[in-house]
Structure 1
Amino acid sequence: MTGPVGASPGGGGVCVVGGGLAGIAAAIRLADRGLPVTLLESRAELGGATYSFRRDGLTVDTGQHVFLRCYHAYRDLLDRLGTTAGTQVQRRFEVPVLLPGRAPHVLTRRRLPAPAHLLPALAGYRLISPAERLAAVRACAALRRVDPDAPATDGQCFGDWLAAHGQSPRSVRRLWDLITVAALNVPSTQASLALAARVFRTGLLEAADAGDIGRPLVPLTELHAVAARRVLDRLGVRVRPRSRVRWIHPEPAGFRVGVDGGELAADGVVLAVPHPVAAALVPPAAAPAAGDWARLGAAPIVNVHLRYAHRVTRLTMAAAVESPAQWIFDRSGPDAGDEQHLVVSISAADAEIDRPAAELVATQRRALADLFPAARHTPVRDAFVTREPRATFRQNPGTRAYRPAAGTRLPGLVLAGAWTDTGWPDTMEGAVRSGQVAADTLAHQLVSRPRHHTEAAR
């Protein structure tokens, strides 16, 4: 499929641009169909936004990624990569919710059919009043009737919908935004009703076990990148790291892809990169509306890492309300001894993304001291901050209009990425689904195109 400068296009293979989860999923799907595949990744390793780095003997993930039991495409990919054992899924949904000065309140589902499985949790949620709990139950029932795929739904604001359904500002802060901010990377007051409905309906309301939380037990690079490289090599996919794509040109029988130091020829291209990069690479004839993709914007996530000299909590994961902290994860390794490595993950971090690291660390040290009394007098051996300025697109009302389908106006060139029109939020599940849809779309186009190739060659 590939060749030096001057090689003719239409070499019988496809080029996947981008080695994140969408690109990995697309490459595997295409290779399974027997197509020769070359995967181009600008970084040294695969994995995209889900990668790790080394610091003082630790392997640290850039972001604290979790998934739900209902992430079927993502979990199937882990099975294919052989890394499911590197994750842990709760036996049932359970989240300790922390309020400064109060004992943890545990939100958990019961062994009942949906949606009754959540009724006891809502009825006993002590962080809001009895009247607010009853209103929350009614809102959940109403949310089950919201169609996430209806065009009008995406134009509505989830915060407005909650207010119209009797949710107080305190209920929004202490209940609804526990999920909304973490899942959509924006608060309810800025979130698309369609995407919020997808999260709550699919993740919590339609199947009793769908919202059980899974989290990695190993570094993300090991979970995704290393394992994906092994699988792709076994499938015969040619993986080219440190290969930044500069341009894509359509040809009568395929495409040319410009890479640093040369170019490649391909029958088809999967463009599996973030939307700003895709907008710069896609030929104008393929997506005349690519300029609108900028309207998807970007929403940041900040993670503050604190390595305590001694254990300050027995919780492995918790959510905080009325606190600068949001979600807290224990990422202590098996060799940590009594030391504890806590990570505070701050979504919708517009106010934090540009703050100095020292300020963020000081703020979170105070926040954790308020939540865990043992942290008040425990030395911190190391503290640092990781930032993801473009962690997700900004999942506001009306964004679906700017999320393109996999197919473009140029047959043979398709788009993938969690930002495309998957119907899902910008999540690992959305990324994997997008890669699979893009691969299926491209394979169908290539099967229906041989006659045109023959005619073009004459």
Structure 2
Amino acid sequence: MTDGSTEPREDRTVPAAPGRDAVVVGGGLAGVTAALALADAGLRVTLLEGRPRLGGLAFSFPRGDLTVDNGQHVYLRCCTAYRWFLDRIDGTALAPLQDRLDVPVVDVDRPEGRRLGRLRRDALPVPLHLGRGLATYPHLSLAERAKVGRAALALKGLDLTDPALDRQDFGGWLAAHGQSARAVEALWDLVGVATLNAVAGDASLSLAAMVFKTGLLSEPGAADIGWAHVPLGELHDRLARKALDSAGVRTEVRSRVTSVSTLADGRWSVEVPGERVEADAVVLAVPQREAHALLPQGALDAPERLLEIGTAPILNVHVIYDRTVLGTPFLAALGTPVQWVFDRTAASGLKEGQYLALSQSAAQDEIDLPVSVLRERYLPELNRLLPLTRDAEVKDFFVTRERTATFAPTPGVGRLRPGARTRTPGLYLAGAWTATGWPATMEGAVRSGVSAAEAALSALGRPRPAHLFDVEEAA
């Protein structure tokens, strides 16, 4: 199995050593995190992943001579769990953070023409750190900026533990607090769509408040942006696999789990074609529908709730030009369908020209459009947004689609998200869709893996690894 062969394999059973064995099903960030945490605590861990690689929905693939990410992923300084993960796999230097938040925002739909503004912070206490940036933000009127400040203070005062917040939509709350349609577009959705994968009107107030309170209103540097300067596969597959190997984890790819069941002695049996692995603890770190299919009867009070957790798509548009057309690492856009544009030239290995990746969240209306239609839509928009593209030659244009990129952060989703523990001893859940308190981000995925590992270690009476990230309230 370790060579990834697809040849038929002899049936075999790997017996468990009592109190020492765990199986993690799923090799995304949640599963890798859980496996590392369990192995660091002294358990013998097997990680089973159905795909031929690790990394889940944050991965890379070859396209000719290039290495392409399926989508652009960023994190913030406040994403302390993901930062711990990077450190654990020795990847911190490959995904650095900005020294200070600085986001170029270009509005192309103005009577006077294209206009550049910036969202910046200063080295001042909260909320003064955003004061100058907001005061000089040219995409809002003076009155709108003042109302944004008042809404931010009201948002800061919300109690994230109040379950009533989850039943409200963020758009309605913004309207009730004096936010104009322009303010929503130019600020709240500019940040919220990228982090929540939903526009304000479709997002739970609880999740939106969590994003803005934590990212913009907790610490001065909380919203500083970090991103991988190498292909995601270098981090989430190669370095993750190296860390797993060093921790003693048996990692098997192309090993899709077909069933999870209890044994007569209370341990667990996890089956893949040709093999059955026995263990004392199992972590299901797979998407919610796959988890539902694998759950034994009685594991959750209302397992059908997993099927009620919706999904939301992300579309990524990739354009390679014959010359440099963007002079910054990334920018955000207003007045155009384009949302965020990132320079992936160096990370992809491109030697000549420039490679831009457009990250289009909440892409329900575009996710299934033909490439030809998307090309006709987005190349003229890039000409409006980046004047240097008008004289440049497009060398390649392609799209990547993640139809179920995240769980949908709709009002009421909080009651559907289960914690790490199930009703069946020894079985635990992980994944960004579980009850982490975060939206579907890399941060939420890592936190869920930690929570599942902590729950398993507690039940097995094993000490928590001293260096493990500290989740304040493990689910």
1:146-295, aligned counterparts within 5 Å?
146-251=158-263, 252-295=265-308
What amino acid maps onto 2:272 in structure 1? V
| Residues 344 and 364 in structure 1, CA contact (< 8 A), matched pair in contact too | no
Could you tell me the percent identity over the aligned residues?
Answer: 49
Supply the distance in 2 between the matched residues of 1:370 and 1:157 (Cα, whole angstroms): 33
| Residues 268 and 282 in structure 2, CA contact (< 8 A), matched pair in contact too | yes
| Residues 288 and 433 in structure 2, CA contact (< 8 A), matched pair in contact too | yes
Alignment partner of 1:421 out of 398, 423, 435: 435
- SS of 1:89's equivalent in the other structure is coil
Query: How far apart are 1:261 and its partner, in Å?
Result: 1.5
1:430 aligned residue: 444
| Match status 1:371 vs 2:385 | yes
What amino acid maps onto 2:73 in structure 1? H
| Match status 1:447 vs 2:461 | yes
- SS of 1:142's equivalent in the other structure is helix
| Residues 281 and 456 in structure 2, CA contact (< 8 A), matched pair in contact too | yes
| Residues 9 and 256 in structure 1, CA contact (< 8 A), matched pair in contact too | no
1:32-181, aligned counterparts within 5 Å?
32-100=40-108, 101-181=113-193
- The Cα offsets for residues 173-232 of structure 1, whole Å up to 9 and x where unpaired, read as 111100110000000010111101111010011110000000100000101211111111
- SS of 2:47's equivalent in the other structure is strand
Supply the distance in 2 between the matched residues of 1:371 and 1:437 (Cα, whole angstroms): 43
Supply the distance in 2 between the matched residues of 1:124 and 1:284 (Cα, whole angstroms): 58
Structure 2 stretches lacking a partner, 5+ long: 1-9, 463-475
Supply the distance in 2 between the matched residues of 1:288 and 1:361 (Cα, whole angstroms): 47
| Residues 420 and 451 in structure 2, CA contact (< 8 A), matched pair in contact too | yes
What amino acid maps onto 1:159 in structure 2? G
- The Cα offsets for residues 24-47 of structure 1, whole Å up to 9 and x where unpaired, read as 100010011101100000011111
What amino acid maps onto 1:370 in structure 2? R
Supply the distance in 2 between the matched residues of 1:391 and 1:148 (Cα, whole angstroms): 25
Query: How far apart are 1:236 and its partner, in Å?
Result: 1.0
| Residues 114 and 207 in structure 1, CA contact (< 8 A), matched pair in contact too | yes
1:451 aligned residue: none
- SS of 1:290's equivalent in the other structure is coil
| Residues 12 and 274 in structure 2, CA contact (< 8 A), matched pair in contact too | no
Query: How far apart are 1:314 and its partner, in Å?
Result: 0.4
What amino acid maps onto 1:221 in structure 2? G
What amino acid maps onto 2:22 in structure 1? V
What amino acid maps onto 1:371 in structure 2? L
- The Cα offsets for residues 243-288 of structure 1, whole Å up to 9 and x where unpaired, read as 1001111123211111111211111100000101001001121114
| Match status 1:344 vs 2:352 | no
| Match status 1:25 vs 2:36 | no
Query: How far apart are 1:358 and its partner, in Å?
Result: 1.3
| Residues 149 and 423 in structure 1, CA contact (< 8 A), matched pair in contact too | no
| Match status 1:395 vs 2:403 | no
Larger deviation, residues 10-19 vs 50-59 = 10-19
Provide closer, same or farther for how the CA distance between residues 30 and 377 of structure 1 changes in structure 2, counting only shifts above 3 A: same
Supply the distance in 2 between the matched residues of 1:290 and 1:319 (Cα, whole angstroms): 40
TM-score, normalisation: structure 1: 0.95
Query: How far apart are 1:88 and its partner, in Å?
Result: 2.1
2:6 aligned residue: none
Supply the distance in 2 between the matched residues of 1:392 and 1:232 (Cα, whole angstroms): 25
Structure 1 stretches lacking a partner, 5+ long: 449-458
| Aligned-residue CA RMSD (Å) | 1.5
| Match status 1:383 vs 2:397 | yes
TM-score, normalisation: structure 2: 0.92
Supply the distance in 2 between the matched residues of 1:404 and 1:421 (Cα, whole angstroms): 5
Provide closer, same or farther for how the CA distance between residues 9 and 229 of structure 1 changes in structure 2, counting only shifts above 3 A: closer
Supply the distance in 1 between the matched residues of 2:235 and 2:244 (Cα, whole angstroms): 14
Supply the distance in 2 between the matched residues of 1:205 and 1:361 (Cα, whole angstroms): 39
Larger deviation, residues 255-264 vs 424-433 = 255-264
- SS of 1:245's equivalent in the other structure is coil
